[in-house]
Amino acid sequence: MRPARALIDLAALRHNYRLARQLHGGCALAVVKANAYGHGAVRCAQALADEADGFAVAFLEEALELRAAGIQQPILLLEGVFAAKELADVAGRSLWTVVHHEAQIEMIERTALAAPIHVWLKINSGMNRAGFLPAAVDAAWQRLRASAKVADITLMTHFARADEPQVITTEAQVSRFDAATAHLPGGRSLANSGAILGWPQARRDWARPGILLYGADPMPDEGHGLQPVMTLESAVMAVREIAAGEALGYGARFVAERDTRVGLVAMGYADGYPRGVADGTPVAVDGLPTRIIGRVSMDMLTVDLTGLPDAGIGSGVELWGRQVPVNRVAQAAGTIAYELLCNVKRVRFSYSG
Ligand SMILES: Cc1ncc(COP(=O)(O)O)c(C=O)c1O
pLDDT in tens, 251-297: 999 999 999 999 999 999 999 999 999 999 999 999 999 999 999 99
Burial of 224 (0-12, 13-18, 19+ CB in 10 A): middle
Q: Is the CB of 209 under 6 A from ligand 1?
A: yes
List, by residue number, the catalytic residues: 33, 250
Residue 220 has a pLDDT of 93
Determine what percent of the chain is predicted with pLDDT higher than 70: 100
Give the atom of ligand 1 at the shortest distance from the alpha carbon of 193: 11
Report the pLDDT value the prediction gives residue 302, as an integer from 0 to 100: 98
What spacing in Å lies between the alpha carbon of 208 and ligand 1's midpoint?
6
Q: Rounded mean pLDDT of 203-210?
A: 98
Residue 119 makes CB contacts below 8 A (sequence gap 6+) with: 96, 97, 98, 99, 108, 144, 150, 152, 153, 154
Per the DSSP assignment, residues forming a β-bridge with 7 are: 231, 350
Taking residues 82-86, what's their average pLDDT?
98
- Candidate from 99, 203, 208 with most ligand 1 atoms within 8 A of CB, to mutate: 208
Ligand 1 touching residue 202 (CB < 6 A): no
The pLDDT of residue 309 is 96
Question: Of 268, 267, 290, which Cα lies nearest the Cα of 280?
Answer: 290
SS3 state of residue 308 = coil
Over the stretch 219-250, which tens digit does the pLDDT of each residue have? 999 999 999 999 999 999 999 999 999 999 99
- pLDDT value, residue 106: 98
Distance of CA 347 to the CA centre of its chain: 19
Write down the pLDDT at residue 81: 98
> Ligand 1 in contact with 207 (CB < 6 A)?
no
Which residue from 287, 279, 271, 276 is spatially nearest to 321, judged by alpha carbons?
287
- What average pLDDT does the structure give for the chain? 97
Average pLDDT over residues 96-104: 98
| Residues facing 290 on adjacent strands | 283
Tell me the best of 19, 31, 190 to mutate to test the pocket of ligand 1, counting ligand atoms within 8 Å of each CB and taking the most: 31
Mean predicted confidence (pLDDT) in 109-116 = 97
Q: Is 208 in the pocket of ligand 1 (CB under 6 A)?
A: yes
Take atom 14 of ligand 1 and give the residue whose Cα is closest. 210
Distance CA 155, CA 253 (A): 51
End-to-end CA distance of the chain: 24
pLDDT of residue 232: 98
Residue with CA nearest ligand 1 atom 8 = 210
User: How many angstroms separate the Cα of 327 from the Cα of each of 80, 116, 184, 211, 322?
Assistant: 30, 43, 40, 11, 11
**Residue 119: predicted pLDDT:** 98
Q: Band of the pLDDT at 83, cuts 50, 70, 90? A: very high
Beta-bridge mates of residue 203: none
